[in-house]
Structure 1
Amino acid sequence: MAVSSTVRHKGVRVVTMDYPPVNALPVAGWYAVADAVRDAGNDGETRVVVLRAEGRGFNAGVDIKEIQATEGHSALLEVNRACYAAFKAIYECAVPVISAVNGFCLGGGVGLVGSSDVIVASDDAYFGVPEVDRGALGAATHLGRLVPQHMLRALYYTSTTVSAQRLHDLGTVHAVVPSADLDDAAFAFADQIAAKDTRVIRAAKEALNGIDPIDINLSYRFEQGFTYELNLAGVADEHRDAFVQHGGTLST
């Protein structure tokens, strides 16, 4: 289980998540993503980052079993800080970040892709935020960057998912390709960015962040406050316990 970072060629850095069986990241995994992306942006030789995953799906969110196996609130506090760090690192990375999404992208996974610059997805990919079913809140900020506002509310209240093709129709997923072609498609798009003058691209990234209509870092932290309230009230523990007792199945 690890997050790896490799240089492909021409300044294309590939950050890969590999946490079997479903890429539900533990606290250390979220911090590892943050560190890898931050280091990539700080490297003057890096022109673009591709964030991808091995295994059945891109990301199943946080490792709920880790939280429930830890006494007190330390794991909950750390996972919230770690997710915030990962999302912030991607959003503020000095170079564009392309998310290559295979299979499921749930909860914190939506936080990752919603913080990135471009999304390329496999034709079997789907996205959703099942936080309501887990007694928590979060990543509505990032889901709101992928879908219109009323669609966001419908998806969020019901914990249902949306396909990559639907997001492509909405204009938020750049391309949908067969699973076997996902990496090649993401790398091909990365090569287009890497071929540009990196000084201009880095300036463009900073400028685009500067004109965003909301501060996504503050917006996400606001959401997290309600998660803490639900935990103090004991609501979140009930839902997380039920999730673990039922085998921790993915929402669809």
Structure 2
Amino acid sequence: MGISTARPEPGVAIVTMDFPPVNALPVHGWHALARAVAEAGTDPGVRCVVLAAAGRGFNAGVDLKEIQHSPGHRALLGANQGCAEAFSAVYDCPVPVVAAVHGFCLGGGVGLAGTADAVVASEDAVFGLPELDRGALGAATHLARLVPQHLMRTLYFTSRTVTARELYGHGSVWRVVPRPGLAEAARALAREIAAKDGVLLRLAKAALNGIDPVDVRRAYRYEQGFTYEAAVAGVAERHRAAFLAGGGRRREEERS
């Protein structure tokens, strides 16, 4: 349980999230994930990182219970900082990152997939930002890297999800495979990338980040300011409480 790193074959590192029951990461989990991705990317023997998850889904965002039950805004600020650090670690990783997504990819999960360099998904994968239903804002920056602008806005305002097949149609998912074949499909892509020259891969990653039309780090931190504003206004706590009281976690598990 937690964050683990494996190096199953030359040039490839697999960073796995495992926070039962739904991979909703606590504050320390986001920071641990950031460290693991950064360490894997700076290893001279690694030329591609696979970001994967154990359990029923890829990532359900932040641990709302931790935020709800912590005094003041300490946990909220910690989650904001942890998410920003983890997303930046994936985006700034010196080598390409492949996200292997199964089940639900919600909230912070979209942040991770949206900052990855490639996404391989299982047929049961769904992506979305239920932030408005949970009293939060954020990660529209990353959803906009997966779907066109107007679809992003519609998904954001409605809290609806989009399937891996639909994202494949938009060109943001590389392959959609049966769930049992996800790990191998992600490793196959990572293996193909890792076969390239390590120096050139690092130069290519830096070059592609340099020509990105949107500064994802600044854009996401801007969004987080509104999340904090919602918290100070009291609206965030009301929605979090209603979500948790209504068995939100149970609905996520049933959905998976």
The TM-score range, normalised by the shorter chain, is over 0.9
Which position in structure 2 is the counterpart of 1:197?
Answer: 197
Which position in structure 1 is the counterpart of 2:20?
Answer: 20
Gaps of 5+ in 1: none
Q: Deviations over 1:86-143 (max 9, x none)?
A: 0000000000000000111000000000010000000110100000111110000000
CA distance in 1, matches of 2:53, 2:228: 29
Q: Which aligned pairs between 1:40-55 and structure 2 lie closer than 5 A?
A: 40-55=40-55
Which position in structure 2 is the counterpart of 1:132?
Answer: 132
What is the CA distance between 1:248 and its match in structure 2? 2.3
Q: Deviations over 1:184-203 (max 9, x none)?
A: 00000100011100110110
* Pair 1:75 & 2:75 matched: yes
* Pair 1:214 & 2:214 matched: yes
Question: Which secondary structure state, in structure 2, belongs to the residue aligned with residue 223 of structure 1?
Answer: helix
Question: Which secondary structure state, in structure 2, belongs to the residue aligned with residue 47 of structure 1?
Answer: strand
CA distance in 2, matches of 1:177, 1:202: 28
Q: Which aligned pairs between 1:50-129 and structure 2 lie closer than 5 A?
A: 50-129=50-129
* Pair 1:146 & 2:146 matched: yes
Q: Which amino acid aligns with 1:91?
A: Y
Percent identity over paired residues: 60
Gaps of 5+ in 2: none
CA distance in 1, matches of 2:180, 2:86: 27
Question: Which secondary structure state, in structure 2, belongs to the residue aligned with residue 49 of structure 1?
Answer: strand
CA distance in 1, matches of 2:248, 2:165: 27
What is the CA distance between 1:227 and its match in structure 2? 0.5
Q: Which amino acid aligns with 1:99?
A: A
What is the CA distance between 1:69 and its match in structure 2? 1.2
CA distance in 2, matches of 1:96, 1:78: 27
What is the CA distance between 1:181 and its match in structure 2? 0.2
CA distance in 2, matches of 1:33, 1:199: 25
TM-score, normalising length from structure 1? 0.98
Q: Which amino acid aligns with 2:5?
A: S
Q: Which amino acid aligns with 2:167?
A: L
Question: Which secondary structure state, in structure 1, belongs to the residue aligned with residue 14 of structure 2?
Answer: strand
What is the CA distance between 1:205 and its match in structure 2? 0.3
* Pair 1:174 & 2:174 matched: yes
CA distance in 1, matches of 2:224, 2:164: 26
Which position in structure 2 is the counterpart of 1:246?
Answer: 246
Which position in structure 2 is the counterpart of 1:30?
Answer: 30
What is the CA distance between 1:155 and its match in structure 2? 0.3
What is the CA distance between 1:225 and its match in structure 2? 0.5
CA distance in 1, matches of 2:154, 2:74: 32
What is the CA distance between 1:54 and its match in structure 2? 0.5
What is the CA distance between 1:240 and its match in structure 2? 0.6
CA distance in 2, matches of 1:167, 1:135: 26
CA distance in 2, matches of 1:59, 1:2: 13
Q: Which amino acid aligns with 1:68?
A: Q
CA distance in 2, matches of 1:166, 1:247: 28
TM-score, normalising length from structure 2? 0.97
CA distance in 2, matches of 1:69, 1:51: 29
Question: Which secondary structure state, in structure 2, belongs to the residue aligned with residue 120 of structure 1?
Answer: strand
CA distance in 1, matches of 2:109, 2:49: 16
CA distance in 1, matches of 2:193, 2:222: 33
